[in-house]
Each structure stands twice: as C-alpha cells, then as structure tokens.
Amino acid sequence: MRIRLCLLILLSVLCTASITAQKSNKKITITGTVLNSAKEPIVNAIIMIDDQKTNSITDSKGNYKVKVKPDALKIGVFTFGNGTFEEAINGRTEINFNFGTTGTQQTTDKIIAPGEQGVNVGYGNVKNKNLTTDVNKIDGTNKKYASYSSISDMIQREVSGVRMNGLSVIIQDSKDLFGSVYALIVVDGVYMDELPNIPPTSVKSIEVLKGTSAAMYGSRGYGGVIIIKTKMQND
C-alpha cells in the first residue's frame, strides 16, 4: 500500500513538473502598430525577431501579431522606404513602433576617429563598437585571402549562413512566397544580381549585411546585401 502511494505521489510530481516545463516553453504573443513619421500606418512591414525574419507582416492599419519564444530578446520591423526599428522585448506583449520618434532606430556616425574601423551599412558608416546588427566584414588586404580561388569561395568560408546558387548568393536561407531570395550584390557602388568574376586579390573589402542591417537598401535588400570594394576603385 505504501509503495503504491509513493508511486502515485511520484507520478503526480512528474506530471506537475512536465506541465510547468510546457508552460515555460509556451510561445508569447506580441501585438502592436507600426506608424511612419506622419503617424500613418505602414503596410506590409516585416516583423523580425532577434534579426530573423518571421511570417508576420503589418495589415492595412499597420497592426501586427507575432508569436515568439520566451527567450527572445528583441523585436524589429523592416519597412520599405522607412528603414528599420528595433526594440527590446523585456517581457512586453504590446510593442508599438513610431518612426516619428528617435528611440532605437538605426543611426549613423558621420565622423569616425582615426584608427576606429567602420562598416558601411548602406547609409553611412557605423563604428564597430556601436554596431548592433548582423554584419560580417572581410578585409581583402589580408594576405591569407590570396589563397582563395574566387570571391564566392572566400565568402562561403569566412561568413556563416551563406550558400551559393551558381554566382547568386543566398544569406540565412532567405525566402519569400516564391522561393529563395538572392542577396543584392553591390560592387564599387554598382548593383548586381551575381558575384563578379574578379580575383580575390583585387578585393579591398567585402561586407555581408544580414537581417535588419540590409533594410536601408529597401526591397532589394530583403535577401541581404554583399558590398564589395575593389582595390582599383578604392585605393
């Protein structure tokens, strides 16, 4: 009898622990509204969680709803024409974005002190220490890159989350309703859809912009952006 009672108590404790664990892992629903500087709703803005795109977009009134894991840290909004905006979640279930306020919109530093390396994020340079978005930079002047056979080889080996489809680049498996979305390639300011056939020794730098860091390129930056500077044009 005592053994049966002990087993029932143990089973009860295990069930309670299991239910508690399931509740703690349950996704949280966050809602809110996205407005532009004129306080008008922004339609089809993409909601991002921890720099990753979600399937949630804003409706005709600028409203959105998205489910996130309990350990999610930040929520961002990617818009076409208004840039991006990020907020810390901090346990909140209602987060509104207003591009008419400053807050945590991406900002740039016009002046970078000597010796402080900057990253070009499409709308100016940002100091590395202030950079919060996902950007990878390859210094083409480093002699170790001379051994690579091509730019695509260099990018794939040095940057995580990148894969090739011929000479087109897919970053973080970006997709839309029609399939994979290729990254925008920018070579010395010229927009391209594929990587150019130039030797790695001619490259001064490569910057790979993922997630919200590519938002200022508008809809063309949806799949990320790869900025290539050659030594010929930038010496």
> Each residue of 48-67: pLDDT tens digit?
888 777 888 888 899 999 99
Closest CA to 123 of 114, 133, 233, 196: 133
pTM of the model: 0.46
- Sign of the CA dihedral running 123, 125, 131, 133: positive
Which has more pLDDT, 141 or 61? 61
Which range has highest mean pLDDT (70-74, 120-124, 135-139, 219-223)? 70-74
Structural contact between residues 208 and 157, judged by C-beta atoms closer than 8 angstroms: no
118-234 classified as CATH 2.170.130.10: yes
* pLDDT value at residue 22: 52
Find the mean pLDDT for residues 151-158.
Answer: 82
User: Which CATH number is 28-98 given?
Assistant: 2.60.40.1120
Instruction: Give dist(CA 43, CA 79) in Å, integer.
Output: 8
* pLDDT value at residue 138: 84
Lowest-pLDDT choice from 35-49, 97-111, 119-133, 176-190:
119-133
Structural contact between residues 64 and 46, judged by C-beta atoms closer than 8 angstroms: no
What residues have CB less than 8 Å from 5, skipping those under 6 apart? none
Closest CA to 85 of 30, 35, 122: 35
Structural contact between residues 95 and 64, judged by C-beta atoms closer than 8 angstroms: no
Instruction: Give dist(CA 214, CA 122) in Å, integer.
Output: 7
Q: Is the pLDDT of residue 208 over 80?
A: yes
Instruction: Give dist(CA 89, CA 7) in Å, integer.
Output: 42
What residues have CB less than 8 Å from 10, skipping those under 6 apart? none
* Distances 73 to 25, 39, 49, 76, 159 between C-alpha atoms, Å: 15, 26, 8, 10, 23
pLDDT band for 45, please (50, 70, 90 cuts). confident
Ramachandran area for residue 7 (φ above 0: left; ψ -120 to 50: alpha; else beta): alpha
The domain spans of the chain are: 28-98, 118-234
Residues linked to residue 55 through DSSP beta bridges, in sequence order? none
* Distances 127 to 15, 108, 119, 234 between C-alpha atoms, Å: 51, 8, 7, 19
Closest CA to 174 of 219, 143, 130, 129: 219
Closest CA to 52 of 158, 173, 164: 173
Instruction: Give dist(CA 49, CA 211) in Å, integer.
Output: 10
Lowest-pLDDT choice from 6-10, 20-24, 89-93:
20-24
Q: Is the pLDDT of residue 18 over 70?
A: no
